[in-house]
Structure 1
Amino acid sequence: MGQESRQIHRFPCRHCGEDIVVALCIDYEKITHWVEPVENAEWIDEVGGAPIVNVDANFIVPIHQRDKDFAFPRMDQLRERFEVAEKNGSIVTASLEEINSKKWKERPFRRPDFEEEWKLLKTTWSLHRRGRAHLIGDRLKAASEIYYASDPLKSIQDWLWRFMLFFSQPAFEGPFRDAFDQIRPLLESKEFERFREHYNKISNQRGERYFELLKAYFESYDQFAQVHFDVVRGLEIPDGNMASSVDFDSVKMFYGNTFEALSSNIDIMAYFGNIIAGRAFDQFQSLTLKEYLRLDKPSRFGPLAAIPAFDALCLERDNQLRNASHHGGTRLDAETQIITFQSGKGGQGQTQEIGFAKYLARCDLIFLQMIVLFRLEIMMCQVATGLTWPI
């Protein structure tokens, strides 16, 4: 059982190899559940000796437990997550009596049902982007009653900030704070005034990029949710584990597309690096702004190396995997869950391999780097004056 009210599981039939799709539905108010056959599945009487298939919405499954009855792979993984939570001081020790019963239904105490909140946020954000501000108030009020009753939402910016804050905790709070510590002193500088004028010309395009990427991520959230709660805690996906639900077609281009978005939006960190170095925001050590923007996407990360707090925002950036993913050059063996792709320019190099679960984790990681960058821009717009929000 996962965190959402409806959880999709896709896995190959053990006999013919075609995908079977089922959904687990949960009513968290009435504390009940039911299963829906979705594709290539129907209800039958139980057959003795039939194959066992272990599926889990928020955990990976060790290979040796994939088809084992009475296996509970999430128990050991829960212990690891508990240790991370304990280290970060994020364990809730208060009892129901100590915390108002209503607050257990609110963030951060509420279960992390981010997909359901995103559905409401996505429509509200879309209305804002299309200039339908008069339709937003009621939606903010409704979302507040569900998720933030004790501290109602004030704006779409406020909602985006809270959503991304809770979604990226705890491993990505440190990199966010370290990067903003570098940015904050620049906000009152004269050169920031020049940067502000440039930023306001590109903020809408940046907002569209964030919006489309978030949409793409949550369209395949049933895939990413299997690893997200490990990635967001800084935990590695160990070898010998498999995703129990596999929809490769929905995610095979995600890494490449996110790499493209990150390498496009990371430019403002390079501009801040120029200001920190005492130069104009658009003057690099040996490049003009036009020359920088003509660089290929991997080279745009180069200027960040001089500032570790900025470079830490994009440590996950594998250009070989990006090329294969972005250009549809990855292949999945459904039985072994091994993805293969060719490295080198034009995919003419050696064959590379990565497990599907690890691929999902790397997709989640590069996406979360984009989330940190988005948070930095929202915080910058909140603290500085005269900036156009990238939403």
Structure 2
Amino acid sequence: MKVASAFSLGNRSSPFQDAAPSEETAVIIRNYLRCLTCDQVHMLRIAIGDAKRQPHHFACRNCGEELEVVLTLGTGSSSEGAFSCSENAEFCDEDAKALTVNLDPNFVIPKDQANSPLSFPRLEQMRTIVKAMEARGASLDQMARASRERGPTFPTEWTHLRKAIGLETRGKSKLSRREIETSGELFYEGERLDSLDDWLIRFLRRLVGPDNSEIFEKISKEVERIVAAKDASGLMEHYFADLRATRRDAYFAILTDFFRNYSEFSQVLYRVRLGARAPEDAAAGSTNFESVKTFYGDAFETFAGLVELFTMLNNLDAGREYDQGERLTLKKYRELDNASKFNPFAGNAAFTDLCVEIDNQIRNASHHRGIKLSADRHTVLYRAGKGGTGEEQSMTYVTYLDRCTGIFMQIVVLLCVEIMMNYRQGQALFGGESTS
């Protein structure tokens, strides 16, 4: 893995690459859908997004029955594609009495525009994203160049990357290496990918955006400082013998879960990556809550387990053995409830900067069946407290997607740090060395 290429901000690793769907994707396809439960016809105004397969879940504007429509893009112009829908609906001819439904796979929609036949909510939000990029030092020329050079999108590349990781995991290293070599041509303009780790960190650095890339740099330097200044041999022996495989599986599982539900998270992804606020009273066009209602809780559990690495490094930095905290041994630390696992390294700003989105109450609610979507599909209702039995609280579904994406990004940054740590030790987290 080349440090210069994999960890630089130039070329395809630019944090502004894939910053938002480009102007050529600002196409709206119109189609008509009849709800078979109540015969209400809907005029669907669907914006083209960044994934080939774009599912949308929404409520019938008359009876409230959940409907699904899937747009699968073709290989020609951006307006080509095939539609399918759920069994409780059918496509139909134009109807003057149709109710409007606006759907956008990459942007949220102001609630008062959700049913407007003249709404173009993407345009204003793209201006917001441009301003956020300008605030981070990107010129209009850089943005235009990134738009022209976007190439394959996140879900497209992840499909290939997941395949290569799965092949390597199943012992099919030769097939995995073939996928790595091919993907250098597909996604990186023919540049050689050294390994799965090299490919993965390039992909993830683009995914997390500029702010999280800065946090990654900060944490990586801190980890490198501690390992260089202290005797980390015991920690590394424990890590490579007992932890690496389990941690790798945890990372892969949450990545797979995120991209399995990409059509929901992509509605907020491009904005969240740049820290841009959602429009006031924003709504999500697609509300497939059943598929993502435990995502935050699962991500919290995953992240709380993975930050053990910070605790062990913090122990070393304090002059102790990696498995001896100020008050607890590593064994006792592992017995703590997940909400308390962030406390031992609370004095290290580099580590705590990554631990912003950590709400154990949402985790409790989702894991104890105490979370649901309101009847109008705009609000997530959940019961906080131990066992999900506390007072009912609420947040918009857009906020829930924002927070899910935020905690996922924290896990991704930690994964990048861990890949880098393995590299500095002459090891690979995922393996898959290139043949060339």
Q: Same fold (TM over 0.5)?
A: yes
1:284 is the counterpart of 2:331: no
248-257 vs 121-130, greater mean Cα deviation: 121-130
Name the structure 2 match of 1:192: 232
Pairing 1:257-336 to 2, within 5 Å after superposition: 257-336=298-377
* Aligned counterpart for 2:249 among listed residues 201, 205, 208: 208
Unaligned regions of 5+ residues in structure 2, if any?
Answer: 1-47, 432-436
- What CA deviation, in whole Å up to 9, does each residue of 1:318-347 have, x standing for no partner? 111111122322011141521111111222
Alignment check: 8 A CA contact 1:220 1:251 kept = yes
Correspondences of 1:21-32 after superposition (within 5 Å): 21-27=68-74, 29-32=76-79
Counterpart-to-counterpart distance in 2, 1:225 and 1:95? 20
User: Which residue of 1 is the match for residue 182 of structure 2?
Assistant: 142
Q: Which residue of 1 aligns with 2:202?
A: 162
Query: Could you tell me how far apart the structure 1 residues matched to 2:140 and 2:189 are?
Result: 19
**Distance (Å, rounded) in 2 between the aligned partners of 1:194 and 1:388:** 18
Amino acid at match of 2:162: K
Q: Which moved more, 1:203-212 or 1:302-311?
A: 302-311
* Partner Cα distance (1:111, 1:240) in 2: 33
Instruction: Identify the residue that residue 127 of structure 1 maps to in structure 2.
Output: 167
* Paired position in structure 2 for 1:2: 49
With over 3 angstroms needed to count, the CA separation of the structure-2 counterparts of 1:370 and 1:275, relative to structure 1, is: same
1:91 Cα offset (Å): 4.5
Query: SS of the residue aligned with 1:202?
Result: helix
Question: Normalized against structure 1, the TM-score is what?
Answer: 0.92
Unaligned ranges ≥5, structure 1: none
- For these two proteins, the number of residue pairs brought into alignment is 382
Q: Name the Cα RMSD after superposition.
A: 2.0
Contact 2:369 2:388 in 1 (8 A): no
Counterparts of 1:263 and 1:315 in 2: how far apart (Å)? 12
Q: CA deviation at 1:248?
A: 0.7
Q: Which letter does structure 2 place at the counterpart of 1:11?
A: F
Deviates more, 1:284-293 or 1:271-280: 271-280
Query: What SS does structure 2 have at the residue aligned with 1:10?
Result: strand
CA–CA separation in structure 1 for the residues paired with 2:131 and 2:151: 19
CA distance in 2, matches of 1:130, 1:165: 26
User: Percent of aligned positions with the same letter in both sequences?
Assistant: 35
Partners of 1:16 and 1:295 in 2: CA distance: 47
For 1:183, the equivalent position in structure 2 comes to 223
Aligned to 2:291: 250
1:33-112 to 2 correspondences below 5 Å: 33-39=80-86, 40-91=88-139, 93=141, 109-111=149-151
Compute the displacement of 1:217 (Å): 0.7
Is 1:371 equivalent to 2:371 in the alignment?
no
Q: List structure 1 segments (4+ residues) > 6 angstroms apart after TM superposition.
A: none
Do the aligned residues in 2 keep the contact of 1:10 with 1:20 (CA within 8 Å)?
A: yes
Per the alignment, in what secondary structure is the counterpart of residue 70 of structure 1?
coil
Aligned partners of 1:267, 1:185: CA distance in 2, in Å?
18
Contact 1:237–1:361 (Cα < 8 Å) also in 2: no
Could you tell me which amino acid in structure 2 is paired with residue 114 of structure 1?
A: F
